[in-house]
Structure 1
Amino acid sequence: METLTAKDLTLGYGDSTIIDSLDVKIPKGEVTVLIGGNGCGKSTLLRSLSRLLKPQSGHIVLDNKDIAKMRTKEVAKKMAILPQSPVTPEGLTVLQLVKQGRYPYQSWAKQWSKKDEEAVNEALKATNTEELRDRSVDSLSGGQRQRAWIAMTLAQGTDTLLLDEPTTYLDMAHQIEILDLLFELNQEQGRTVVMVLHDINLASRYADHIIALKDKSVYAEGKPEDIISCQLVQDVFEMNCDVREDPLFGTPMCIPHGKGRCIIKEVVQQQQQRTS
Protein backbone atom coordinates (compact mmCIF):
# COMPACT_ATOMS: atom_id res chain seq x y z
CA MET A 1 0.00 0.00 0.00
CA GLU A 2 1.32 3.44 -0.95
CA THR A 3 2.58 6.03 1.51
CA LEU A 4 1.88 9.74 0.96
CA THR A 5 4.10 12.45 2.46
CA ALA A 6 4.59 16.20 2.11
CA LYS A 7 8.07 17.54 2.79
CA ASP A 8 8.84 21.24 3.41
CA LEU A 9 5.81 22.07 1.27
CA THR A 10 4.96 25.66 0.31
CA LEU A 11 1.79 26.30 -1.69
CA GLY A 12 0.06 29.38 -2.99
CA TYR A 13 -1.48 31.27 -5.87
CA GLY A 14 0.53 34.08 -7.40
CA ASP A 15 2.14 36.13 -4.64
CA SER A 16 -0.20 34.71 -1.98
CA THR A 17 1.24 31.91 0.20
CA ILE A 18 -1.42 29.55 1.56
CA ILE A 19 0.76 26.78 3.03
CA ASP A 20 4.30 27.49 4.23
CA SER A 21 7.05 24.90 4.85
CA LEU A 22 4.62 22.15 5.87
CA ASP A 23 5.63 18.59 6.72
CA VAL A 24 2.96 15.92 7.00
CA LYS A 25 2.63 12.17 6.56
CA ILE A 26 -0.70 10.55 5.74
CA PRO A 27 -1.14 7.30 7.73
CA LYS A 28 -1.73 4.47 5.30
CA GLY A 29 -4.82 2.32 5.75
CA GLU A 30 -6.55 4.95 7.90
CA VAL A 31 -9.13 7.72 7.51
CA THR A 32 -7.46 11.14 7.71
CA VAL A 33 -9.54 14.32 7.87
CA LEU A 34 -8.23 17.84 7.24
CA ILE A 35 -9.94 20.52 9.33
CA GLY A 36 -9.49 24.24 9.82
CA GLY A 37 -11.09 27.63 9.30
CA ASN A 38 -12.12 28.98 5.91
CA GLY A 39 -9.14 29.87 3.77
CA CYS A 40 -6.63 27.95 5.90
CA GLY A 41 -5.49 25.81 2.98
CA LYS A 42 -7.32 22.49 3.43
CA SER A 43 -8.43 22.18 -0.19
CA THR A 44 -5.16 23.66 -1.42
CA LEU A 45 -3.20 20.99 0.46
CA LEU A 46 -5.46 18.23 -0.87
CA ARG A 47 -5.04 19.51 -4.44
CA SER A 48 -1.29 19.44 -4.04
CA LEU A 49 -1.29 15.94 -2.55
CA SER A 50 -3.16 14.77 -5.65
CA ARG A 51 -0.76 16.66 -8.01
CA LEU A 52 -3.47 19.03 -9.21
CA LEU A 53 -1.48 21.96 -7.81
CA LYS A 54 2.26 22.38 -8.29
CA PRO A 55 4.15 23.32 -5.11
CA GLN A 56 6.06 26.60 -4.98
CA SER A 57 8.69 24.63 -3.11
CA GLY A 58 9.02 21.27 -1.37
CA HIS A 59 7.91 17.84 -2.48
CA ILE A 60 4.99 15.41 -2.40
CA VAL A 61 6.28 11.86 -2.14
CA LEU A 62 4.10 8.89 -3.09
CA ASP A 63 5.47 5.42 -2.44
CA ASN A 64 9.01 6.83 -2.17
CA LYS A 65 8.71 8.72 -5.48
CA ASP A 66 8.35 12.47 -6.08
CA ILE A 67 4.94 12.69 -7.74
CA ALA A 68 6.13 15.64 -9.84
CA LYS A 69 8.41 13.18 -11.65
CA MET A 70 5.77 10.48 -12.08
CA ARG A 71 3.62 10.03 -15.16
CA THR A 72 0.00 11.10 -14.85
CA LYS A 73 -1.37 7.61 -15.45
CA GLU A 74 1.07 6.16 -12.90
CA VAL A 75 -0.23 8.55 -10.25
CA ALA A 76 -3.84 7.82 -11.27
CA LYS A 77 -3.28 4.12 -10.67
CA LYS A 78 -2.20 4.84 -7.09
CA MET A 79 -4.48 7.74 -6.04
CA ALA A 80 -8.02 8.76 -6.96
CA ILE A 81 -9.20 12.32 -6.36
CA LEU A 82 -12.78 13.55 -6.03
CA PRO A 83 -12.78 17.37 -6.21
CA GLN A 84 -15.38 19.59 -4.60
CA SER A 85 -18.63 19.82 -6.60
CA PRO A 86 -17.44 17.96 -9.73
CA VAL A 87 -19.25 18.84 -12.96
CA THR A 88 -20.81 16.01 -14.95
CA PRO A 89 -21.20 16.31 -18.75
CA GLU A 90 -24.89 16.61 -19.61
CA GLY A 91 -26.64 13.33 -20.34
CA LEU A 92 -23.87 11.08 -19.00
CA THR A 93 -25.20 7.94 -17.33
CA VAL A 94 -23.90 6.54 -14.06
CA LEU A 95 -22.34 3.60 -15.90
CA GLN A 96 -20.58 5.90 -18.36
CA LEU A 97 -19.28 8.04 -15.48
CA VAL A 98 -17.94 5.07 -13.52
CA LYS A 99 -16.22 3.73 -16.64
CA GLN A 100 -14.19 6.96 -16.72
CA GLY A 101 -12.35 5.60 -13.70
CA ARG A 102 -10.67 3.01 -15.91
CA TYR A 103 -9.05 5.66 -18.12
CA PRO A 104 -5.56 5.21 -16.56
CA TYR A 105 -5.54 1.60 -17.75
CA GLN A 106 -6.52 2.32 -21.35
CA SER A 107 -4.18 2.87 -24.30
CA TRP A 108 -4.11 2.33 -28.05
CA ALA A 109 -2.61 -1.10 -27.39
CA LYS A 110 -4.85 -2.01 -24.47
CA GLN A 111 -8.57 -1.59 -24.90
CA TRP A 112 -11.51 -2.35 -22.61
CA SER A 113 -10.99 -5.69 -20.87
CA LYS A 114 -12.76 -8.14 -18.61
CA LYS A 115 -10.75 -6.74 -15.69
CA ASP A 116 -12.08 -3.25 -16.46
CA GLU A 117 -15.63 -4.58 -16.55
CA GLU A 118 -15.15 -6.33 -13.21
CA ALA A 119 -13.70 -3.19 -11.62
CA VAL A 120 -16.69 -1.12 -12.75
CA ASN A 121 -19.22 -3.69 -11.51
CA GLU A 122 -17.46 -3.97 -8.16
CA ALA A 123 -17.46 -0.18 -7.78
CA LEU A 124 -21.19 0.00 -8.56
CA LYS A 125 -21.87 -2.74 -6.02
CA ALA A 126 -19.71 -1.19 -3.28
CA THR A 127 -21.50 2.14 -3.60
CA ASN A 128 -24.99 0.66 -3.99
CA THR A 129 -25.45 2.32 -7.38
CA GLU A 130 -26.13 -0.81 -9.45
CA GLU A 131 -29.80 0.08 -9.92
CA LEU A 132 -28.79 3.59 -11.02
CA ARG A 133 -26.37 2.48 -13.74
CA ASP A 134 -28.61 3.54 -16.63
CA ARG A 135 -29.82 6.77 -15.01
CA SER A 136 -28.51 10.14 -16.11
CA VAL A 137 -26.17 11.53 -13.44
CA ASP A 138 -27.78 14.97 -13.56
CA SER A 139 -31.17 13.39 -12.75
CA LEU A 140 -29.96 11.97 -9.42
CA SER A 141 -30.36 13.36 -5.93
CA GLY A 142 -27.34 14.90 -4.24
CA GLY A 143 -26.53 11.76 -2.26
CA GLN A 144 -26.98 9.47 -5.26
CA ARG A 145 -24.81 11.70 -7.41
CA GLN A 146 -22.04 11.72 -4.84
CA ARG A 147 -22.14 7.92 -4.58
CA ALA A 148 -21.83 7.72 -8.37
CA TRP A 149 -18.73 9.92 -8.30
CA ILE A 150 -17.24 7.84 -5.49
CA ALA A 151 -17.93 4.74 -7.60
CA MET A 152 -15.87 6.30 -10.37
CA THR A 153 -12.93 6.84 -8.01
CA LEU A 154 -13.24 3.24 -6.79
CA ALA A 155 -13.16 1.95 -10.36
CA GLN A 156 -9.64 3.37 -10.61
CA GLY A 157 -8.57 0.56 -8.32
CA THR A 158 -6.35 2.75 -6.14
CA ASP A 159 -5.36 2.19 -2.53
CA THR A 160 -5.73 5.90 -1.72
CA LEU A 161 -8.83 8.10 -2.07
CA LEU A 162 -8.67 11.90 -1.76
CA LEU A 163 -11.99 13.72 -1.36
CA ASP A 164 -12.54 17.47 -1.08
CA GLU A 165 -15.62 18.15 1.06
CA PRO A 166 -17.58 15.06 -0.08
CA THR A 167 -20.60 16.06 2.06
CA THR A 168 -20.98 19.64 0.78
CA TYR A 169 -24.58 20.62 -0.09
CA LEU A 170 -25.94 17.33 1.29
CA ASP A 171 -28.56 17.13 4.02
CA MET A 172 -27.70 15.39 7.28
CA ALA A 173 -29.00 11.96 6.24
CA HIS A 174 -26.98 11.97 3.01
CA GLN A 175 -23.88 13.26 4.81
CA ILE A 176 -23.99 10.25 7.13
CA GLU A 177 -24.68 7.94 4.18
CA ILE A 178 -21.56 9.12 2.32
CA LEU A 179 -19.32 9.07 5.40
CA ASP A 180 -20.56 5.59 6.34
CA LEU A 181 -19.70 4.44 2.83
CA LEU A 182 -16.16 5.84 3.02
CA PHE A 183 -15.70 4.36 6.50
CA GLU A 184 -16.79 0.93 5.23
CA LEU A 185 -14.40 1.16 2.27
CA ASN A 186 -11.60 1.83 4.72
CA GLN A 187 -12.59 -0.90 7.16
CA GLU A 188 -13.46 -3.62 4.66
CA GLN A 189 -10.98 -2.91 1.85
CA GLY A 190 -8.17 -1.22 3.75
CA ARG A 191 -8.20 1.87 1.55
CA THR A 192 -6.48 5.01 2.75
CA VAL A 193 -9.03 7.85 2.81
CA VAL A 194 -8.04 11.53 3.01
CA MET A 195 -10.82 14.11 3.03
CA VAL A 196 -11.63 17.69 3.87
CA LEU A 197 -14.59 18.20 6.22
CA HIS A 198 -16.07 21.33 7.77
CA ASP A 199 -18.01 19.60 10.55
CA ILE A 200 -15.62 18.98 13.43
CA ASN A 201 -18.01 16.54 15.11
CA LEU A 202 -18.31 14.37 11.99
CA ALA A 203 -14.55 14.60 11.54
CA SER A 204 -14.05 13.36 15.10
CA ARG A 205 -16.55 10.54 14.61
CA TYR A 206 -15.13 9.11 11.38
CA ALA A 207 -11.42 9.96 11.44
CA ASP A 208 -8.58 7.83 12.71
CA HIS A 209 -6.28 10.79 12.22
CA ILE A 210 -7.05 14.52 12.15
CA ILE A 211 -4.81 17.26 10.76
CA ALA A 212 -5.80 20.76 11.92
CA LEU A 213 -4.42 23.63 9.83
CA LYS A 214 -3.81 27.20 10.98
CA ASP A 215 -1.43 30.01 10.05
CA LYS A 216 -0.23 28.24 6.89
CA SER A 217 0.91 25.12 8.69
CA VAL A 218 -0.16 22.21 10.90
CA TYR A 219 -1.53 23.39 14.24
CA ALA A 220 -2.04 19.86 15.59
CA GLU A 221 -2.45 16.31 14.33
CA GLY A 222 -3.30 12.96 15.84
CA LYS A 223 -6.23 10.88 17.01
CA PRO A 224 -9.42 12.91 17.59
CA GLU A 225 -9.49 12.06 21.30
CA ASP A 226 -5.89 13.25 21.66
CA ILE A 227 -6.12 16.65 19.96
CA ILE A 228 -9.73 17.92 19.87
CA SER A 229 -10.09 20.34 22.78
CA CYS A 230 -11.68 23.66 23.67
CA GLN A 231 -8.28 25.29 23.15
CA LEU A 232 -7.90 23.84 19.63
CA VAL A 233 -11.39 24.99 18.65
CA GLN A 234 -10.69 28.46 20.02
CA ASP A 235 -7.31 28.76 18.28
CA VAL A 236 -8.25 27.18 14.95
CA PHE A 237 -11.88 28.29 14.55
CA GLU A 238 -11.94 31.30 16.92
CA MET A 239 -14.97 29.89 18.68
CA ASN A 240 -15.69 29.16 22.33
CA CYS A 241 -17.13 25.75 23.04
CA ASP A 242 -17.41 22.81 25.39
CA VAL A 243 -15.91 19.50 24.30
CA ARG A 244 -17.64 16.43 25.68
CA GLU A 245 -17.79 12.74 24.86
CA ASP A 246 -20.23 11.72 22.14
CA PRO A 247 -22.72 9.48 24.01
CA LEU A 248 -23.05 7.10 21.03
CA PHE A 249 -19.48 6.79 19.75
CA GLY A 250 -17.27 7.98 22.60
CA THR A 251 -15.53 10.46 20.28
CA PRO A 252 -15.03 14.18 21.06
CA MET A 253 -18.16 16.29 20.56
CA CYS A 254 -17.91 20.05 20.22
CA ILE A 255 -20.77 22.12 21.65
CA PRO A 256 -20.41 25.75 20.48
CA HIS A 257 -21.19 28.70 22.70
CA GLY A 258 -23.68 30.66 20.61
CA LYS A 259 -23.84 34.31 21.71
CA GLY A 260 -27.54 34.65 21.03
CA ARG A 261 -28.51 31.63 23.12
CA CYS A 262 -26.15 32.66 25.90
CA ILE A 263 -27.75 36.13 26.07
CA ILE A 264 -31.25 34.63 26.19
CA LYS A 265 -30.18 32.19 28.91
CA GLU A 266 -28.65 35.03 30.93
CA VAL A 267 -31.83 37.14 30.62
CA VAL A 268 -34.00 34.21 31.74
CA GLN A 269 -31.73 33.58 34.74
CA GLN A 270 -31.92 37.26 35.75
CA GLN A 271 -35.71 37.19 35.51
CA GLN A 272 -35.87 34.05 37.63
CA GLN A 273 -33.64 35.65 40.26
CA ARG A 274 -35.86 38.75 40.45
CA THR A 275 -39.04 36.72 40.89
CA SER A 276 -37.62 34.30 43.45
Structure 2
Amino acid sequence: MSVLEAQSLTLSYGEHYIIENLDLKIPEGKITVLVGANGCGKSTLLRSLARLLKPKSGGILLEGDLVGSLSTKEVAKRLAILPQGPIAPEGLTVLQLIKQGRYPHQSWLKQWSKEDEKIVQQALEATRMQEFPERAVDSLSGGQRQRAWIAMTLAQKTNIILLDEPTTYLDMTHQIEILDLLFDLNEQENRTVVMVLHDLNLACRYAHHIVAIRDKKIYAQGKPEDIVNTDMVRDVFQMNCDITEDPLFGTPMCIPHGKGRQINKKKQQSVLL
Protein backbone atom coordinates (compact mmCIF):
# COMPACT_ATOMS: atom_id res chain seq x y z
CA MET A 1 0.00 0.00 0.00
CA SER A 2 1.27 3.49 -0.84
CA VAL A 3 0.74 6.45 1.49
CA LEU A 4 2.31 8.99 -0.86
CA GLU A 5 1.96 8.86 -4.61
CA ALA A 6 3.01 10.91 -7.64
CA GLN A 7 0.86 10.61 -10.75
CA SER A 8 2.15 11.75 -14.16
CA LEU A 9 4.22 14.34 -12.29
CA THR A 10 6.12 17.02 -14.19
CA LEU A 11 8.27 19.55 -12.32
CA SER A 12 10.15 22.55 -13.63
CA TYR A 13 11.86 25.77 -12.65
CA GLY A 14 10.58 28.17 -15.28
CA GLU A 15 11.14 26.48 -18.63
CA HIS A 16 13.79 24.13 -17.25
CA TYR A 17 12.18 20.73 -16.76
CA ILE A 18 13.52 18.65 -13.86
CA ILE A 19 11.06 15.73 -13.72
CA GLU A 20 8.79 14.63 -16.56
CA ASN A 21 5.66 12.47 -16.44
CA LEU A 22 6.83 10.52 -13.40
CA ASP A 23 4.76 7.92 -11.53
CA LEU A 24 5.86 6.91 -8.04
CA LYS A 25 4.32 5.06 -5.10
CA ILE A 26 5.94 5.30 -1.66
CA PRO A 27 5.33 2.08 0.31
CA GLU A 28 3.77 2.48 3.74
CA GLY A 29 5.87 1.73 6.83
CA LYS A 30 9.11 1.38 4.87
CA ILE A 31 12.30 3.37 4.36
CA THR A 32 12.50 4.65 0.80
CA VAL A 33 15.70 6.28 -0.46
CA LEU A 34 15.97 8.43 -3.59
CA VAL A 35 19.35 8.12 -5.33
CA GLY A 36 20.88 9.52 -8.50
CA ALA A 37 23.57 11.81 -9.86
CA ASN A 38 23.81 15.44 -8.78
CA GLY A 39 21.17 17.56 -10.48
CA CYS A 40 18.93 14.64 -11.42
CA GLY A 41 15.95 16.02 -9.47
CA LYS A 42 15.97 13.99 -6.23
CA SER A 43 15.57 16.97 -3.91
CA THR A 44 13.12 18.66 -6.27
CA LEU A 45 10.95 15.54 -6.26
CA LEU A 46 11.09 15.35 -2.45
CA ARG A 47 10.04 19.01 -2.14
CA SER A 48 7.15 18.40 -4.49
CA LEU A 49 5.96 15.42 -2.45
CA ALA A 50 5.76 17.78 0.53
CA ARG A 51 3.84 20.38 -1.49
CA LEU A 52 6.73 22.85 -1.34
CA LEU A 53 6.88 22.97 -5.15
CA LYS A 54 3.81 23.22 -7.35
CA PRO A 55 3.79 20.69 -10.22
CA LYS A 56 3.81 21.85 -13.81
CA SER A 57 1.36 19.02 -14.40
CA GLY A 58 0.22 15.85 -12.68
CA GLY A 59 -0.52 15.51 -9.00
CA ILE A 60 0.49 14.19 -5.59
CA LEU A 61 -1.76 11.98 -3.48
CA LEU A 62 -1.26 12.03 0.29
CA GLU A 63 -3.07 9.12 1.92
CA GLY A 64 -5.47 9.14 -1.03
CA ASP A 65 -6.15 12.90 -1.06
CA LEU A 66 -4.84 15.34 -3.64
CA VAL A 67 -2.24 17.28 -1.68
CA GLY A 68 -3.14 20.49 -3.52
CA SER A 69 -6.67 20.32 -2.09
CA LEU A 70 -5.46 20.19 1.52
CA SER A 71 -4.68 23.13 3.76
CA THR A 72 -1.08 23.76 4.81
CA LYS A 73 -1.96 22.84 8.40
CA GLU A 74 -3.62 19.59 7.32
CA VAL A 75 -0.57 18.59 5.27
CA ALA A 76 1.68 19.37 8.26
CA LYS A 77 -0.44 17.08 10.45
CA ARG A 78 0.14 14.17 8.07
CA LEU A 79 3.63 14.77 6.72
CA ALA A 80 6.85 16.29 8.10
CA ILE A 81 9.80 17.40 5.98
CA LEU A 82 13.35 18.23 7.01
CA PRO A 83 15.06 20.22 4.23
CA GLN A 84 18.78 20.18 3.58
CA GLY A 85 20.82 22.40 5.90
CA PRO A 86 18.00 24.03 7.92
CA ILE A 87 19.00 27.13 9.88
CA ALA A 88 17.52 28.07 13.25
CA PRO A 89 17.22 31.70 14.41
CA GLU A 90 20.17 32.79 16.53
CA GLY A 91 19.76 31.82 20.18
CA LEU A 92 16.79 29.49 19.63
CA THR A 93 17.01 26.65 22.14
CA VAL A 94 16.54 22.96 21.38
CA LEU A 95 13.30 22.91 23.36
CA GLN A 96 11.94 25.96 21.54
CA LEU A 97 12.80 24.36 18.19
CA ILE A 98 11.11 21.07 19.03
CA LYS A 99 7.98 22.85 20.26
CA GLN A 100 7.56 24.34 16.79
CA GLY A 101 6.66 20.86 15.62
CA ARG A 102 3.42 21.11 17.60
CA TYR A 103 2.23 24.31 15.90
CA PRO A 104 0.13 22.50 13.23
CA HIS A 105 -1.89 21.01 16.09
CA GLN A 106 -2.61 24.37 17.80
CA SER A 107 -5.68 26.55 17.30
CA TRP A 108 -7.70 29.20 19.09
CA LEU A 109 -9.69 26.44 20.73
CA LYS A 110 -6.78 24.07 21.35
CA GLN A 111 -3.83 25.75 23.04
CA TRP A 112 -0.68 24.17 24.45
CA SER A 113 -1.60 21.08 26.48
CA LYS A 114 -0.12 18.36 28.64
CA GLU A 115 -0.34 16.10 25.61
CA ASP A 116 1.84 18.53 23.63
CA GLU A 117 4.34 18.60 26.50
CA LYS A 118 4.41 14.80 26.59
CA ILE A 119 5.03 14.53 22.83
CA VAL A 120 7.88 17.06 23.00
CA GLN A 121 9.51 15.09 25.81
CA GLN A 122 9.13 11.88 23.81
CA ALA A 123 10.83 13.55 20.84
CA LEU A 124 13.70 14.66 23.07
CA GLU A 125 14.14 11.14 24.40
CA ALA A 126 13.79 9.41 21.03
CA THR A 127 16.61 11.54 19.60
CA ARG A 128 18.69 11.37 22.81
CA MET A 129 18.58 15.14 23.18
CA GLN A 130 17.14 15.27 26.72
CA GLU A 131 20.46 16.61 28.05
CA PHE A 132 20.34 19.68 25.80
CA PRO A 133 16.86 21.28 26.00
CA GLU A 134 18.19 24.71 27.00
CA ARG A 135 21.20 24.70 24.68
CA ALA A 136 21.10 27.05 21.70
CA VAL A 137 20.73 25.07 18.47
CA ASP A 138 23.54 27.03 16.81
CA SER A 139 25.93 26.00 19.62
CA LEU A 140 25.51 22.26 19.00
CA SER A 141 27.76 19.93 17.04
CA GLY A 142 26.63 18.92 13.56
CA GLY A 143 25.24 15.57 14.69
CA GLN A 144 23.46 17.06 17.71
CA ARG A 145 21.98 19.83 15.58
CA GLN A 146 20.62 17.33 13.08
CA ARG A 147 19.09 15.27 15.90
CA ALA A 148 17.41 18.41 17.23
CA TRP A 149 15.81 19.09 13.84
CA ILE A 150 14.70 15.47 13.57
CA ALA A 151 13.17 15.81 17.04
CA MET A 152 11.14 18.75 15.75
CA THR A 153 9.80 16.65 12.88
CA LEU A 154 8.95 13.87 15.35
CA ALA A 155 7.00 16.34 17.47
CA GLN A 156 4.69 16.90 14.49
CA LYS A 157 3.59 13.32 15.15
CA THR A 158 3.14 12.47 11.47
CA ASN A 159 3.20 9.00 9.96
CA ILE A 160 5.39 10.20 7.06
CA ILE A 161 8.79 11.86 7.39
CA LEU A 162 10.71 13.28 4.41
CA LEU A 163 14.40 14.18 4.75
CA ASP A 164 16.64 15.83 2.18
CA GLU A 165 20.21 14.55 2.58
CA PRO A 166 20.07 14.26 6.39
CA THR A 167 23.73 13.14 6.58
CA THR A 168 25.24 16.02 4.56
CA TYR A 169 28.27 17.68 6.21
CA LEU A 170 28.37 15.03 8.96
CA ASP A 171 31.38 12.84 9.68
CA MET A 172 31.14 9.06 9.38
CA THR A 173 30.19 8.49 13.03
CA HIS A 174 27.36 11.03 12.96
CA GLN A 175 26.09 9.78 9.59
CA ILE A 176 25.60 6.30 11.03
CA GLU A 177 24.10 7.76 14.22
CA ILE A 178 21.44 9.67 12.25
CA LEU A 179 20.61 6.75 9.96
CA ASP A 180 20.40 4.35 12.91
CA LEU A 181 17.97 6.78 14.57
CA LEU A 182 15.76 6.86 11.48
CA PHE A 183 15.97 3.07 11.18
CA ASP A 184 14.82 2.70 14.80
CA LEU A 185 11.92 5.11 14.23
CA ASN A 186 10.80 3.01 11.30
CA GLU A 187 11.22 -0.29 13.13
CA GLN A 188 9.68 0.74 16.45
CA GLU A 189 6.98 3.20 15.37
CA ASN A 190 6.31 2.07 11.79
CA ARG A 191 6.99 5.58 10.47
CA THR A 192 7.22 5.86 6.70
CA VAL A 193 10.59 7.47 5.94
CA VAL A 194 11.57 8.95 2.58
CA MET A 195 15.02 10.47 2.17
CA VAL A 196 17.58 11.58 -0.35
CA LEU A 197 21.05 10.08 0.13
CA HIS A 198 24.25 10.47 -1.87
CA ASP A 199 26.03 7.42 -0.48
CA LEU A 200 24.76 4.40 -2.41
CA ASN A 201 26.24 1.90 0.04
CA LEU A 202 24.45 3.52 2.99
CA ALA A 203 21.27 3.64 0.92
CA CYS A 204 21.54 -0.10 0.33
CA ARG A 205 22.12 -0.77 4.04
CA TYR A 206 19.15 1.21 5.33
CA ALA A 207 16.53 1.25 2.57
CA HIS A 208 13.75 -1.23 2.05
CA HIS A 209 12.99 0.48 -1.25
CA ILE A 210 15.36 2.42 -3.53
CA VAL A 211 14.26 4.77 -6.30
CA ALA A 212 17.00 5.55 -8.85
CA ILE A 213 16.38 8.67 -10.94
CA ARG A 214 17.95 9.44 -14.32
CA ASP A 215 16.99 11.65 -17.26
CA LYS A 216 13.99 13.18 -15.44
CA LYS A 217 12.40 9.78 -14.86
CA ILE A 218 12.63 6.73 -12.63
CA TYR A 219 15.35 4.47 -14.01
CA ALA A 220 14.68 1.62 -11.56
CA GLN A 221 13.01 1.04 -8.21
CA GLY A 222 12.72 -1.85 -5.79
CA LYS A 223 14.66 -3.66 -3.10
CA PRO A 224 18.40 -2.80 -3.12
CA GLU A 225 19.36 -6.41 -3.88
CA ASP A 226 17.01 -6.42 -6.88
CA ILE A 227 18.09 -3.22 -8.62
CA VAL A 228 21.61 -2.23 -7.54
CA ASN A 229 24.05 -3.75 -10.03
CA THR A 230 26.91 -2.65 -12.26
CA ASP A 231 24.59 -1.65 -15.10
CA MET A 232 22.45 0.53 -12.83
CA VAL A 233 25.48 2.30 -11.33
CA ARG A 234 26.99 2.87 -14.76
CA ASP A 235 23.75 4.20 -16.28
CA VAL A 236 22.63 6.33 -13.32
CA PHE A 237 25.97 7.61 -11.99
CA GLN A 238 28.15 7.25 -15.13
CA MET A 239 30.64 5.21 -13.11
CA ASN A 240 32.11 1.76 -13.55
CA CYS A 241 32.22 -0.37 -10.43
CA ASP A 242 32.13 -3.85 -8.97
CA ILE A 243 29.20 -4.93 -6.83
CA THR A 244 29.89 -7.26 -3.96
CA GLU A 245 28.07 -8.25 -0.78
CA ASP A 246 28.39 -6.08 2.30
CA PRO A 247 30.17 -8.42 4.77
CA LEU A 248 28.12 -7.13 7.74
CA PHE A 249 24.64 -6.65 6.29
CA GLY A 250 24.54 -8.80 3.15
CA THR A 251 23.31 -5.84 1.10
CA PRO A 252 24.86 -4.74 -2.23
CA MET A 253 28.14 -2.85 -1.83
CA CYS A 254 29.51 -0.69 -4.61
CA ILE A 255 33.29 -0.63 -5.17
CA PRO A 256 34.05 2.15 -7.67
CA HIS A 257 36.74 1.79 -10.30
CA GLY A 258 39.24 4.61 -10.24
CA LYS A 259 42.89 5.56 -9.94
CA GLY A 260 43.38 4.93 -6.27
CA ARG A 261 46.73 3.82 -4.92
CA GLN A 262 47.45 0.15 -5.61
CA ILE A 263 48.86 -1.84 -2.69
CA ASN A 264 51.63 -4.31 -3.47
CA LYS A 265 50.29 -7.26 -1.49
CA LYS A 266 53.45 -9.38 -1.85
CA LYS A 267 55.65 -6.56 -0.58
CA GLN A 268 53.21 -5.90 2.27
CA GLN A 269 53.28 -9.56 3.32
CA SER A 270 57.08 -9.71 3.27
CA VAL A 271 57.27 -6.67 5.54
CA LEU A 272 54.86 -8.26 8.00
CA LEU A 273 56.94 -11.45 8.04
**Contact 1:2/1:78 (<8 A) preserved:** no
Deviations 1:218-275 (A, max 9, x none): 00000000000010000000000000000000000000001354xxx49999xxxxxx
d(CA) in 2 for partners of 1:2, 1:128: 30
- What RMSD over aligned residues (CA atoms) do the two structures have, in Å? 1.6
CA distance in 2, matches of 1:259, 1:21: 38
Please tell me whether the aligned partners of residues 123 and 155 of structure 1 are also in contact (alpha carbons under 8 angstroms). Answer: yes
TM-score (norm 2): 0.95
Q: Which amino acid aligns with 1:38?
A: N
**Aligned pair count?**
266
Matching residue of 1:54? 54
User: Could you list the per-position Cα deviations for residues 193-234 of structure 1 after superposition, in whole angstroms to 9, with x for gaps in the alignment?
Assistant: 000000000000000000000000000000000000010000
CA–CA separation in structure 2 for the residues paired with 1:21 and 1:240: 29
Q: Does 1:184 align with 2:184?
A: yes
Q: 2:118 is matched by which residue type in structure 1?
A: E
Q: CA deviation at 1:110?
A: 1.5
> TM-score by structure 1 length?
0.94
Q: Report the CA distance between 1:160 and its aligned residue.
A: 0.4
Aligned amino acid, residue 152 of structure 1 = M
Alpha-carbon distance change, 157 to 2 in structure 1, aligned in 2, over 3 angstroms: farther
Change (3 A) 1:268 1:179: closer
Where does structure 1 lack aligned partners over 5 or more consecutive residues? 270-276
Give 1:209's aligned residue: 209
Match of 1:239 in 2: 239
Q: Which amino acid aligns with 2:202?
A: L
Which residue does the alignment assign to 1:272? none
Hey, what does 2:123 align to over in structure 1? 123
Mapped contact 1:2–1:160 kept (Cα < 8 A)? no
Please list the CA deviations of residues 174-200 of structure 1 after superposition, one character each: whole Å capped at 9, or x if unmatched.
000000000000000000000000000
Following superposition, which runs of at least 4 residues in structure 1 exceed 3 angstroms of deviation?
A: 265-269
- Give CA deviations for 1:15-55 in whole Å, capped at 9, x if unaligned: 00000000000001000000000000000000000000000
Counterpart of 1:232 in 2: which secondary structure? Answer: helix
Residue 179 of structure 2 corresponds to residue 171 of structure 1? no
Runs of 5+ consecutive residues of structure 2 not aligned to the other structure: 267-273
2:25 corresponds to: 25
Identity over the aligned pairs, expressed in percent? 68
Question: Which stretch shifts more, 196-205 or 99-108?
Answer: 99-108
